[in-house]
Chain A
Amino acid sequence: MSILVNKQSKVIFQGFTGQHATFHAQEAIRMGTNVVGGVTPGKGGETHIERPVFDTVKDAVKETGADVSVVFVPPPFSADAIMEAIEAGIKVIVVITDGVPVQDMVRVKRYLIGHDAIIVGPNTAGVITPEECKVGIMPAHIYPKGRIGLVSRSGTLNYEAVEQMSELGLGISTSISIGGDPVNGCDFLSLMKKFAEDPETDAVLMIGEIGGSQEVEAATWARENMNKPLIGFIAGATAPPGRTMGHAGAIISGESDTAQAKMKRLDELGVSVVQNAAEIGRTVLQSVNSRK
Chain B
Amino acid sequence: MNIHEYQTKELFRSYGMPVPEGGMAHSANKAVSVAEQVGGDGWVVKAQIHAGGRGKAGGVQLARSLDEVQQHAENLIGSRLVTKQTGETGRMVNRVLVEQMQPIDQEFYLGLVIDRASQRITLIASAAGGMEIEEVAAATPEKVINEVVDPAVGLQDFQCRKVAAEIGLSGKQIHKAARIMKQLYRCFRDKDALMVEINPLVTTQEGQFLALDGKMSFDGNALFRQPDIADLRDFDEEDPKEVEASGHDLNYIALDGSVGCIVNGAGLAMATMDAISLYGGRPANFLDVGGGASPEKIANAIRIVLEDPNVEVLMLNIYAGINRCDWIAEGIVKAMESQSIDVPVVVRLAGTNLEAGRRILSESGLDYIHADRLSDAAEKAVKAVKGEAA
Binding site for B on A (CB under 8 A): 75-76, 98-107, 109-110, 125, 137-139, 142, 152-160, 163-164, 180, 182-183, 207, 209-214, 233, 235-240, 243, 245-254, 259, 275-279
B320 / chain A contacts, CB cutoff of 8 Å? 139
Q: Among B112-120, B227-235, B332-340, which stretch is in contact with chain A?
A: B112-120
Known: A209-B270, A251-B137, A252-B116. 5 other contacts (CB 8 A): A106-B151, A159-B268, A180-B267, A249-B113, A253-B117
Q: Contact between B115 and A252 (Cβ–Cβ < 8 Å)?
A: yes
CA A164 to CA B154, docked complex, whole Å: 47
Tally of contact residues, B, Cβ under 8 A: 64
| Interface presence of B41 (CB below 8 A) | no
Distance A160 CA – B263 CA, assembled complex (angstroms)? 12
B150 interface contact, C-beta 8 A: yes
The answer on a CB contact under 8 Å between B114 and A106 is yes
Contacts A99-B221, A155-B265, A240-B253 given; does A278 touch B378 at CB 8 Å: yes
Known: A137-B321, A235-B274, A276-B278. A249 touches B267 (CB 8 A): no
B131 at the interface (CB under 8 A from A): no
Nearest B residue (CB) for A237: B274
B217 touches A (CB below 8 Å): yes
Is B264 touching A156 in the complex (CB atoms < 8 A)? yes
A85 to B113, CA, bound (A): 28
CB distance from A254 to the nearest CB of B (A): 7
With A and B bound together, what is the CA distance between A139 and B320 in angstroms? Answer: 8
A236 to B271, CA, bound (A): 6
Residue from A138, A182, A235, A253 within 8 A of B270 (CB atoms):
A235
Contacts across chains A and B counted by CB atoms under 8 Å: 183
* B49 CB, min distance to chain A CBs, angstroms: 15
Known: A142-B351, A248-B197. A182 touches B116 (CB 8 A): yes
Per the 8 Å Cβ criterion, residues 152-198 of B in contact with A are: 152, 189, 192, 194-195, 197
Given known A238-B283, A278-B375, contact A254–B141 (CB-CB < 8 A): yes
Of the candidates B111, B113, B225, B276, which one forms a contact with A76 in the assembled complex, judged by CB atoms under 8 Å apart? B225
Give chain A residues whose Cβ lies under 8 Å from the Cβ of B272: 277
List of B residues within 8 angstroms of A214 by Cβ:
116
| Cβ distance B350 to chain A, nearest Cβ, rounded Å | 6
Knowing A246-B217, A249-B115, the reply to whether A160 touches B268 (Cβ < 8 A) is yes
- Do residues B351 and A276 form an inter-chain contact, with CB atoms below 8 A? no
**Shortest distance between the CB of A29 and any CB in chain B (Å):** 17
A100 and B225 CA atoms in complex are apart in Å by: 12
Chain A residues positioned under 8 Å from B117 (CB to CB): 212-213, 252-253
Identify which of residues 236-288 in chain B touch chain A, using a CB-to-CB cut-off of 8 Å: 253, 255, 263-268, 270-278, 282-283, 286
**Closest Cβ–Cβ distance, residue B103 to chain A (whole Å):** 29
Q: Which residues of B contact A110 (CB under 8 A)?
A: 120, 150-152
